[in-house]
Structure 1
Amino acid sequence: MTKQIVTGLVAHVDAGKTTLSEALLYQSGHLRKLGRVDNGNAFLNPNQLEKQRGITIFTHQARLSYHDLALTMLDTPGHIDFAGQTEQVLQVLDYAILVVSVTNGIQGYTRTLWDLLKRYDIPIFVFINKVDSMGADSARVLNKLQNELSAGCIDFTSGQVTTGDAAEAIAMQDDIVLASYLDQEKLSEDTVRTLIKERKVFPCFTGSALKMTGVTNLLDGLTKWTVAGPTKQEFAARVFKISHDPNGNRLTWLRITGGSLRAKSILLPDEKVDQIRIYDGDKFTIAQVVPAGEVCAVTGLTSSFPGQGIGTEANTPRPQMRPVLSYAVKIGDNDLQTCLKALQELADEDPQLKVTWSEHLQEIHVHLMGEVQREILEQILEERYQLKLKFNQGQILYQETINASIEGVGHFEPLRHYAEVHLLLAPGKPGSGLHFAADCRVDVLSHNWQQQIMTSLAAKEHRGVLTGAPLTDVQITLIGGKGSIVHSVGGDFREATWRAVRQGLMELAAQKHCVLLEPYYRYRLTVPQDEVGRAINDIQKMNGTFRLAPNTGQSQSLLTGEAPVATMRDYATAVRNYSHGQGHLECVVNGYQPCHNANEVITQAKYVPTADLANTPDSVFCAHGAGYPVSWDKVPEMAHFPYCKRI
């Protein structure tokens, strides 16, 4: 019986990921001619921009058969600026193939990918590539994998891993398995497969994708040591990509996780599948039905988005890899509406672009990961839409949070309307985002009213009151409120809910418990020994931390640590200059931390929360047949429902 597996190839840029995919396709007989990235004829780099730059920018799909294995491969972008696309793909994988270059070893983005795969619980096969390079030492890289990522990274190249040293190393990753191994001195193949699936063991293979060495071992390993993922009986699917074909058709890319998908099926309200496509490179075949376990692209859907669950599948959490820079678009002589339409179509493919129009500044703004993504976006706009747009240097995307709890109150009572909402705002874990919950009796607020409040909480992006930046890492709990059977309607609770959030934030700001956050880099800096002092001094000036690796007699020194994106984003150029090209800086966004110069940023923002009418903290009460506004600081004493005293 053929085993259906979906795998994704992930790697730091230039590790040889796309070259490996080409080798796998060629070795399995899927390709008659071996293409090369540097020649611009790689099967999974069909886009013209990818050929020009020699890197993967978009996710591409290929299918191969090898013995009893039917393998769907998703080749993902390797540059960190496109990490958001890669993260979308991880959500639909059975296994991942992590490619590590023997010449560069474990790099910053390699660690980021490892952490993302852990987040989505994806088992990993590792391919240590480029072993034909001069001075290559695959054993050293394997040792680093074991010491820095997981002791479960074990050499599977020989294929003989159920007995001997490899078996003992595998058994040591699980106490129960170890006890059985010590008794029998061997492992069953099913035990090895289970440990791989449980992410306790990570099979490692060595070779050179370019020279076609070690590729057969990897294919044999994938065939032998993988198991098909479970599928549900009821229909379920997950969206992992949105794109547009050359004719402008909108494509929704799906992994079917349960049941089967048929053409003309209604997947979303008033939206049905017109056509089901099975892609292989840039070509596709039409299918009438796709079973669980398969990947396909469908036309006909207009409201789908990456991470969306369809059928019995739930939506995935918000992505971890998010842009930290906002760029203003220079429209020039181009028509504003034409520019907006083009950018909004691209934002449909990548929602994290977050295209917005600033009426006050008369500017379009987009969110990006970095300069490479900006350059690519400029090229796409010119080639696809014939728009020559430029972007400014980019501004830091700040966020806001809180470090204490408060009860926020919102009241909305213009004539013939009524709603009051009490919310408990409490600090959440760093990086957790916003979480909403209800802890309110139905005899206080009916189930219907509570549902309206919970829906309203999730219906907008809540903003802080320091600079108007997005609010994050806060637990918001419904704890009380009041409605009127006669006058309350859904819109009333929406208004009261949003005002309650803002009123609570204003209370916390007055108590100095609101916190401005900024993005930080995790960096690895290598510089010549005689430049270490200069580097440390620079890092301290950038408000960064550093750890100097022990000197092992090498001519280069390694510093690692964290620093604000705002201060380090342009430092790579300085490193190249003062080290005369011998130094190298690698940065990976590592979440948000309290802003190092918060007062300065807040002052420059000139944000007045009470003047932000779309996010007002004030409430509306009614007296003598007319509604009247009440400022946020007076709302608690005028509330109709008593303070819940949960703090």
Structure 2
Amino acid sequence: PAGTVCAVTGLTQTFPGAGLGMERDGASPVLQPVLTYTLLPGECDAHKCLMALRELEDEDPLLHVVWQPRLQETHVHLMGAVQLEIIQQMLHDRFGLDVTFGPGSILYKETITAPIEGVGHFEPLRHYAEAHVLLEPLPEGSGMRYATVCSEDVLDRNWQRLIMQHFREREHLGVLTGSPITDVKITLLTGRSHLKHTEGGDFRQATYRAIRQGLMELGKKGDCRLLEPWYGFRLEVPQDMVGHAMADVQRMGGTFDTPTGDGEYMVLNGTAPVSEMQDYAMEVNAYTHGRGHLSCVFAGYRPCHDADAVVEDMAYDPESDLENMPDSVFCAHGAGYTVKWYKVPEFMHLDYAWSGMGKW
């Protein structure tokens, strides 16, 4: 009956709101993390801090903890300063850890504006796998989708299932700033295994490299786009200050509807980039002398209003990211050797499978 409490063993990847059996997962939360903070462990053990944050992450779906191997840092994705204070207090009360965090920065994402076929080949000595994937842009807010159109006569079902798992098992990073990609459909087009030499991890390497190689090709063509989070806001200010508020929103690059009000107070409803509005509540409080009120909700990701400046400031080099290599590995004369991503089409063992690259 409803309200019954039970215990289930053997579950490994559950989360709050997860549906079990035929039950669907609960609706996505309205609030989404839009800021990232760097953990500063101080005198505390960094690994112990990471494990404590992982435990809190398992309890709270709005907390996202990321270990950045390239920077050797732990990053925490949150909604803002209030949630950060709560996390700090929980680390102190439950784990005896007194830590601080660096200043918050915007949690960017990336997407693509054109389709491409990416190729990944992994063939060190006594290993073999090649994967061809199609990357396609999706409408705003679609998230990530995965599919396969590869015939089982070309690549066995077990290898295809493994590749589909590799699609989903990690957050694939873009090549502009190293931010996660979104609104992209990834489709397995074709692949090749070797009866004796292909092992389970070979297709993981080939799949990751195929996705990354495709993104690098798109980046070279200018078909990658940086996205930033936007807020939907409701701003209530005294009538004589509505001009000030409207000018501020326009300065931020935001938009708003026609102001409404009852004579004493006016209300602005609109949207604006989080990067411009994250500290605006304090400004509202200052220029209205405490009589104004600002409320914000997450309104999704949109093209970044100052993308060139952000990319230049972050100075991300995709070819130096050893955790996300776009190059492939081929074998000759009994030894593996690396082939740069832009030369992979010259060495790949299978022809292009997508009509946009040659033939379907």
Q: Is the shorter-chain TM-score for this pair beyond 0.5, marking a shared fold?
A: yes
2:35 aligns with one of 318, 325, 332: 325
Does 2:190 match 1:480? yes
Q: Check 1:437–1:299 CA distance in 2 against 1; reply closer, same or farther (3 A cut).
A: closer
Indicate conservation of the 8 Å contact 2:254/2:271, yes or no.
yes
Which residue of 1 is the match for residue 334 of structure 2?
Answer: 625
Q: What secondary structure sits across from 1:616 in the alignment?
A: coil
Whole-angstrom distance in 1 between the partners of 2:125 and 2:224:
34
1:636 aligns with one of 345, 348, 352: 345
1:405 aligns with one of 101, 115, 128: 115
Whole-angstrom distance in 1 between the partners of 2:206 and 2:73:
31
1:511 aligns with one of 215, 221, 225: 221
Indicate conservation of the 8 Å contact 2:30/2:297, yes or no.
no
Which residue of 1 is the match for residue 305 of structure 2?
Answer: 596
Q: Check 1:401–1:393 CA distance in 2 against 1; reply closer, same or farther (3 A cut).
A: same
Q: Check 1:422–1:316 CA distance in 2 against 1; reply closer, same or farther (3 A cut).
A: farther
1:459 aligned partner, one-letter code = E
Does 2:144 match 1:434? yes
Which residue of 1 is the match for residue 200 of structure 2?
Answer: 490
Q: Check 1:639–1:315 CA distance in 2 against 1; reply closer, same or farther (3 A cut).
A: farther
Per-residue CA deviation, residues 519-576 of structure 1 (Å, 9 max, x unaligned), is 0000111112221221111111111112222455x11111111100011000011111
Indicate conservation of the 8 Å contact 2:65/2:77, yes or no.
yes
Whole-angstrom distance in 1 between the partners of 2:138 and 2:192:
27
1:611 aligns with one of 304, 320, 336: 320
1:296 aligned partner, one-letter code = V
Whole-angstrom distance in 2 between the partners of 1:302 and 1:447:
26
Structure-to-structure mapping, 1:55-74, within 5 angstroms: none
Paired residues, number? 355
Q: Check 1:300–1:578 CA distance in 2 against 1; reply closer, same or farther (3 A cut).
A: same
Q: What secondary structure sits across from 2:355 in the alignment?
A: coil
Structure-to-structure mapping, 1:237-252, within 5 angstroms: none
Which residue of 1 is the match for residue 66 of structure 2?
Answer: 356
Per-residue CA deviation, residues 37-69 of structure 1 (Å, 9 max, x unaligned), is xxxxxxxxxxxxxxxxxxxxxxxxxxxxxxxxx
Whole-angstrom distance in 2 between the partners of 1:601 and 1:317:
32
Which residue of 2 is the match for residue 138 of structure 1?
Answer: none
Which residue of 2 is the match for residue 294 of structure 1?
Answer: 3
Which residue of 2 is the match for residue 560 of structure 1?
Answer: 269
Q: Check 1:456–1:551 CA distance in 2 against 1; reply closer, same or farther (3 A cut).
A: closer
Structure 2: where are the runs of 5+ without partners?
none
Indicate conservation of the 8 Å contact 1:424/1:646, yes or no.
no
Whole-angstrom distance in 2 between the partners of 1:478 and 1:599:
32
Does 2:169 match 1:444? no
Which residue of 2 is the match for residue 420 of structure 1?
Answer: 130
Whole-angstrom distance in 2 between the partners of 1:309 and 1:585:
35
Indicate conservation of the 8 Å contact 2:260/2:268, yes or no.
no
1:298 aligned partner, one-letter code = A
Deviation, 1:599, is 0.8
Normalising by structure 1, we get a TM-score of: 0.52
Per-residue CA deviation, residues 563-590 of structure 1 (Å, 9 max, x unaligned), is 0001100001111111111111111111
1:561 aligned partner, one-letter code = G
Whole-angstrom distance in 1 between the partners of 2:65 and 2:165:
24
Does 2:116 match 1:393? no
Deviation, 1:351, is 4.4
Q: What secondary structure sits across from 1:614 in the alignment?
A: coil
Whole-angstrom distance in 2 between the partners of 1:388 and 1:344:
16
Which residue of 2 is the match for residue 379 of structure 1?
Answer: 89
2:328 aligned partner, one-letter code = S
1:574 aligns with one of 254, 261, 283: 283
Indicate conservation of the 8 Å contact 1:453/1:497, yes or no.
yes
Indicate conservation of the 8 Å contact 2:70/2:321, yes or no.
no
Deviation, 1:341, is 2.9
Structure 1: where are the runs of 5+ without partners?
1-290
Structure-to-structure mapping, 1:34-183, within 5 angstroms: none
2:122 aligned partner, one-letter code = F
Whole-angstrom distance in 2 between the partners of 1:316 and 1:441:
35
Q: Check 1:487–1:360 CA distance in 2 against 1; reply closer, same or farther (3 A cut).
A: closer
Deviation, 1:480, is 1.2
2:273 aligned partner, one-letter code = P
Q: Check 1:400–1:318 CA distance in 2 against 1; reply closer, same or farther (3 A cut).
A: farther
Does 2:234 match 1:528? no
Indicate conservation of the 8 Å contact 2:34/2:229, yes or no.
yes
Per-residue CA deviation, residues 587-627 of structure 1 (Å, 9 max, x unaligned), is 11111001111111111111111111111111111122221
Deviation, 1:491, is 1.3
Deviation, 1:344, is 2.1
Whole-angstrom distance in 2 between the partners of 1:515 and 1:570:
26
Q: Check 1:405–1:539 CA distance in 2 against 1; reply closer, same or farther (3 A cut).
A: same
Which residue of 2 is the match for residue 341 of structure 1?
Answer: 51
Indicate conservation of the 8 Å contact 1:516/1:595, yes or no.
yes
Indicate conservation of the 8 Å contact 2:256/2:268, yes or no.
yes
2:54 aligned partner, one-letter code = Q
Q: What secondary structure sits across from 2:214 in the alignment?
A: helix
Q: What secondary structure sits across from 2:7 in the alignment?
A: strand
Deviation, 1:314, is 5.7
1:416 aligned partner, one-letter code = R
Whole-angstrom distance in 2 between the partners of 1:450 and 1:316:
29
Whole-angstrom distance in 1 between the partners of 2:235 and 2:342:
49
Whole-angstrom distance in 1 between the partners of 2:260 and 2:56:
46
Whole-angstrom distance in 2 between the partners of 1:476 and 1:419:
18
Whole-angstrom distance in 2 between the partners of 1:385 and 1:638:
53
Indicate conservation of the 8 Å contact 2:30/2:298, yes or no.
no
Q: What secondary structure sits across from 1:355 in the alignment?
A: strand
Deviation, 1:375, is 1.6
Whole-angstrom distance in 2 between the partners of 1:632 and 1:328:
32
Q: What secondary structure sits across from 1:465 in the alignment?
A: coil
Deviation, 1:360, is 5.2
Q: What secondary structure sits across from 1:644 in the alignment?
A: coil
Indicate conservation of the 8 Å contact 2:128/2:193, yes or no.
yes
Q: Check 1:493–1:312 CA distance in 2 against 1; reply closer, same or farther (3 A cut).
A: same
Runs of 4+ in 1 over 6 A off after TM superposition: none
2:100 aligned partner, one-letter code = K
